[in-house]
Amino acid sequence: MSQRRLIVALGAVLAVHFTLELTNHRYIYTVLNLTVFKGKLGPSIDEFPAFSNDTIQAGEHQIWNLSRNYNKRVLPQKYLDEHERLESVAYLVIHRDSILHEQYWDEYGPDSHSNSFSMAKSIVSALIGVAITEGHIKNVQEPVCNYLPEYCEGLGANLTIEDLLTMSAGINFDEHYMNPFAFPAKANYGRDLRELISEYEVVDTPGKVYSYQSGVTQILGFVVEAATGETLAHYAQEKLWKPMGARNYALWSLDHENGEAKAFCCFNSNARDFARFGKLYHQNGRWNGKQLIDSTFVANSIVPAEHLVETNGEVNERYGYQWWTAPNYNSKYDVFYMRGILGQYVFVVPEEDLIVIRLGHKRDKAGEFELPKDVYFWIDGALDIAGISPK
């Protein structure tokens, strides 16, 4: 390379650097370091060691019972092929409160940590439910303004906790996963979540239209902390993780500047302990005789918020209080579930007393308003293992 070209190239690099600095986009370096420079186009389930993390300590371990038919039946090949294609790392089937089937890949095991991604949204919702049960929050109709004064003016004054829970906040968050300048990348790889949230505002009437936005859950996390006076991780530890008898500590990844938990994602644990959230909601918020979350809150969480319409004008049939729903699944079941972007799932099929956990590196996608195609592999495979006809 000639000296002139070298100078031009160096000048271009410096120009980009100063532009990123001046526009507060320094996080792009972190994006590149953890994705592109590692041959990836997005986040991975095992990148949590690159961030600061708040530890959620386990208490007295409550073991899962093993079914007398534990791992006696091999998963049919058509499902194993899908696990291989979509790079599963864990698959757990719990039938009638006992582990019926358990399988791991890629050196993962029962005690491995991996990122739940947006399954964390369901956990934050559960913490809102706990805060209501304990009286820190009056009810879901409370104005967000009561806890976060920045939402006391304009359309923000109409914003309720339920609007946040149902993803109908009317805030101008940009939920684009392949755009490094959109909210998800800024939030995951940036330095200051509170400053980032302040850049967005309520622009439409809340409580009308369902629109999935990670920033909304981050606001819910701030509400939990304001209402309880505790960090998200410590409140989860004392009110859910320990009471549910998790075996292992969990990790909640933090931003770089203020140590704020990434409420919208980044709760890191394992299949057996993630399954406890499915069991808790299957039991209507009750655990070992104690009501951890009010049963009415749980019931409203796992059914579609039908007072909302989708962005295409159709009635919402797939989302409750930060929990996904699949009403009339296979024309037989009303399924509810937690979901993460790379195919992290905790499914509950109440009619069959079945909980299914799948963790992995990839998932199949469907149309914007359709159930992800891979959901059928994981639920139908579990039904098959349990000796129940999937169709």
Give pLDDT tens digits for 282-340. 999 999 999 999 999 999 999 999 999 999 999 999 999 999 999 999 999 999 999 99
| pLDDT class of 18 with cuts at 50, 70, 90 | very low
In a domain, 390, yes or no: no
The Cα–Cα gap between 220 and 236 comes to: 14
Residues 242 and 353 in one domain: yes
pTM for the predicted model, two decimal places: 0.91
Residues 341 and 379 in one domain: yes
The tokens for 73 are 């039946």
Determine the pLDDT at residue 16.
36
Average the pLDDT over 153-169 and give the result: 98
In a domain, 110, yes or no: yes
For residue 104, which phi and psi values (nearest 5 degrees)?
A: -135, 155
Domains in the chain, number: 2
Mean pLDDT of the chain: 91
In a domain, 43, yes or no: no
Residues 169 and 314 in one domain: yes
Give pLDDT tens digits for 118-150. 999 999 999 999 999 999 999 999 999 999 999
The Cα–Cα gap between 328 and 334 comes to: 5
In a domain, 320, yes or no: yes
CATH number of the domain to which 316 belongs: 3.40.710.10
Report how far apart, in Å, the C-alpha atoms of 213 and of each of 184, 209, 273, 322 are. 9, 12, 26, 10
Give pLDDT tens digits for 343-389. 999 999 999 999 999 999 999 988 888 899 999 999 999 999 999 98
| pLDDT class of 19 with cuts at 50, 70, 90 | very low
Residue 378's contacts (CB-CB under 8 Å, 6 or more residues apart) are 91, 345, 347, 356, 358
The tokens for 335 are 């399924």
Average the pLDDT over 229-235 and give the result: 98
Handedness of CA 118, 123, 126, 128 (dihedral sign): negative
Residues 236 and 348 in one domain: yes
Beta carbons of 319 and 118 less than 8 angstroms apart: no
Residues 151 and 238 in one domain: yes
Q: Which domain holds residue 32?
A: 3-38
